[in-house]
Structure 1
Amino acid sequence: MVTRITVIGMGYVGIPCAALLADVDGFQVTGLQRRSKRSGWKIEHLNAGKSPFEGDEPGLDELVAKVVAKGSFKVTDDIDVLKDSDVILIDVQTPTDENHVPQYSSLKEVSKQIGERMKKGTLVIVESTVAPGTTQNIVQKIIEERSGMKAGEDFDLAFAYERVMPGKLLQNIVHLPRIVGGITPQSAKRAVDLYSKIVKAEVHQTNVLTAEVSKTIENAYRDVNIAFANEMALVCESLGVNVYEIIDLVNELPSRIMHIPGAGV
């Protein structure tokens, strides 16, 4: 029996996830991508068996070529593909504005499209980074309003955040533990069963809000530690000492894991 999976958003998260799922026997995967000026070119590029990140992501070029040739992966801009999907993964961008407020316009739009087209029994998974409560208060609410269905009864809904870094997309998805939260135990279990097909590390099952909070704290922890390292780099520079040597010395204590300075915070 074929499981039809649609991955919405062909970016750093959607493409490697879609390719890995398409490499699983019995999975037929479709990437759904808007034909926008910025990203529309990815449709033909991926359908030709080429990764948009050519040469920058170990193993991804070969995997995309393999699953396209196999016939288990294709990309389209036709949203009606959602009608026949057994599983739908949401991987759209959720950027912040100049005031650091999350912008969910794309998330809301795809939630409407899903609600207007999905069939009963579909599993919907949010992989995009969102604030705690978003899966239920925005995605679930919109899908229920548009479909007339009830989450947890007529369809399943889960949040499973990504932990990918550019240059290690496949490696991170396959080998890092995954956190999956469902609005019901059944939703969570269905999502865990799906990710267990491509993740070799442990897939942790929890509720949706716990998973969302875990992602938020995980990102905040990283930001705070990089910011601290950057401040210490300035202190070391003012004192004329080597910050990297300092970090090595601090990290000799097993309970200390000081980050290296970096951009982004």
Structure 2
Amino acid sequence: MTDKFESVCVLGLGYIGLPTAATLAAAGLAVKGVDIRTDVVDALNAGDAHFSEPDLELLVRGAVESGKLKAYTKPQPADAFIITVPTPMNGDKSPDMSFVDAAMRSLMPVLAPGNLVLLESTSPLGTTASIAGIVREERPDLVDGDALKISLAYCPERILPGQMVRELVENDRIVGGLMPEDAARARDLYKTFVHGEVHQTDAITAEMVKLIENAYRDVNIAFANEVAAIGETHGIDPWEAISLANRHPRVNILSPGPGVGGHCIAVDPWFLITQNPGLAGLMNAARSVNDGRPETIVGKIEAAAEAAGSKRIACLGLAYKPNVDDLRESPALEIVRELAQRGYDVSAVEPHVDALPSKLAEAGSVTLRSLDDAFGASDVVALLVAHTPFADVTAGMLGGKAVVDAVGLWRRQG
């Protein structure tokens, strides 16, 4: 099998695939990005990133102008292939693996002996072994008894929106192969651009690592949100209580919020819960706490609006976390939509987007406004995301308005 990788084909040019493709190109490899969306392909070939991320636009433009990165709508021959397509949830919370299956099948015409196929998409346990069955089914010429003539491995991504470009290079990585030599080859590819350590294991352990990393964070967020619910019931400021508790040398409680969003923490635990009924009770309970948090915040906002005698509400923040434009699974978005459906006139403030997402635009009673305009049009202010500009809001600006601070930003500053 090939020991040196000169070309890589990245399938899926979203939040993970695009920065991965650009980083590989910057490391000197010939990269062929693939996406089924022609607008994404056209934007990349013009040197543009189709979403906002610090330093990504510059990285993409440099990679395209150097000739090392080009985008296509179908897989192209390469030494290695990286699959970074979405794995959303079905209605019953089970993982929808149709995109992974389609991506793997799309590779079959271009796979060659000695190729390396890496799956980065978050997946339930056993997925890497299962997609090996596609090779056996569609390309028997790449099968040698019980072995494959290609290498197959799983490598979970672990980068944070807002810091993707840096973390893609600096963070440690886990690579799990169907065979030990598959993991070794995956390590060699990632070491072309990863400055952190690259740890080798088997494929199913690597799949487990990704899922438990985010389930762990979900459980800890649920604890913080449960503390908030108890504290507020008893008239206790939960942020003050948590801050004091964290002065214990072995305690590190997270900050409560309006819920959990993003494609990882709000989704990944379900992959373990649905696959292992009866064995993931704590994870299931955490999901219940965090999924119920937006409704709790809606109730607080409604109570504030009733006390103020007004239907005019300013909701600050739509993204799932501070200082990004990522709205995936955002609890703030869910809160705003619910308020609109209940007949409130909502002024939404989100400094990282230029237009309302369709699910809010269709509501009819939500208007995207500047911070100043939103304050002028509202009697109730709900802080849903701790974006940096919102830290500059003063008590004078909030004078005469009912306030619901769901993230504790203004409380902590006070």
> For residues 242 and 171 of structure 1, do their structure 2 counterparts lie closer, same or farther at Cα, with a shift above 3 Å needed?
farther
Counterpart among 27, 40, 46 of residue 24 in structure 1: 27
Counterpart among 24, 40, 43 of residue 42 in structure 1: 40
CA offsets 1:192-223 (integer angstroms, 9 cap, x no match): 11111221111111111111111111121111
CA offsets 1:46-77 (integer angstroms, 9 cap, x no match): 11111112xx3121111001000000001110
Matched with 1:140 is: 132
**Residue identity matched to 1:124:** V
Counterpart among 45, 56, 70 of residue 74 in structure 1: 70
Q: Is 1:210 the counterpart of 2:205 in the alignment?
A: yes
Q: Tell me, yes or no, if the aligned pair for 2:85 and 2:100 is still in contact at 8 Å.
A: yes
Matched with 2:248 is: 253
Q: Is 1:10 the counterpart of 2:5 in the alignment?
A: no
Matched with 2:54 is: 58
Q: Tell me, yes or no, if the aligned pair for 1:152 and 1:184 is still in contact at 8 Å.
A: no
Q: Tell me, yes or no, if the aligned pair for 1:115 and 1:144 is still in contact at 8 Å.
A: no
Q: Tell me, yes or no, if the aligned pair for 1:116 and 1:146 is still in contact at 8 Å.
A: no
How far off its partner does 1:99 sit? 1.2
**Residue identity matched to 1:175:** E
Secondary structure (helix, strand or coil) at the match of 2:153 reads strand
CA offsets 1:233-258 (integer angstroms, 9 cap, x no match): 11121222222222222222333222
Distance 1:152 1:88 in 2: 19
CA offsets 1:100-124 (integer angstroms, 9 cap, x no match): 1000111111111212331111100
> For residues 112 and 224 of structure 1, do their structure 2 counterparts lie closer, same or farther at Cα, with a shift above 3 Å needed?
same
Alignment of 1:42-191 (within 5 A): 42-53=40-51, 56-79=52-75, 81=76, 84-137=77-130, 139-148=131-140, 149-150=142-143, 152-191=147-186
Distance 2:134 2:239 in 1: 49
Identity %: 39
How far off its partner does 1:172 sit? 2.2
Secondary structure (helix, strand or coil) at the match of 2:174 reads strand
> For residues 108 and 243 of structure 1, do their structure 2 counterparts lie closer, same or farther at Cα, with a shift above 3 Å needed?
same
Higher relative contact order (CA 8 A, sep 6+): 1
Distance 1:187 1:167 in 2: 32
Secondary structure (helix, strand or coil) at the match of 2:108 reads helix
Give 5+ residue unaligned stretches, structure 1. none
Aligned residues: 254
Q: Tell me, yes or no, if the aligned pair for 2:132 and 2:152 is still in contact at 8 Å.
A: yes
Distance 2:84 2:54 in 1: 21
Q: Tell me, yes or no, if the aligned pair for 2:118 and 2:155 is still in contact at 8 Å.
A: yes
TM-score by length of 1: 0.91
Secondary structure (helix, strand or coil) at the match of 1:50 reads coil
Distance 2:35 2:208 in 1: 28
**Residue identity matched to 2:8:** I
Rg: which structure is higher? 2
> For residues 255 and 152 of structure 1, do their structure 2 counterparts lie closer, same or farther at Cα, with a shift above 3 Å needed?
farther
Secondary structure (helix, strand or coil) at the match of 1:157 reads strand
Secondary structure (helix, strand or coil) at the match of 2:71 reads strand
TM-score by length of 2: 0.59
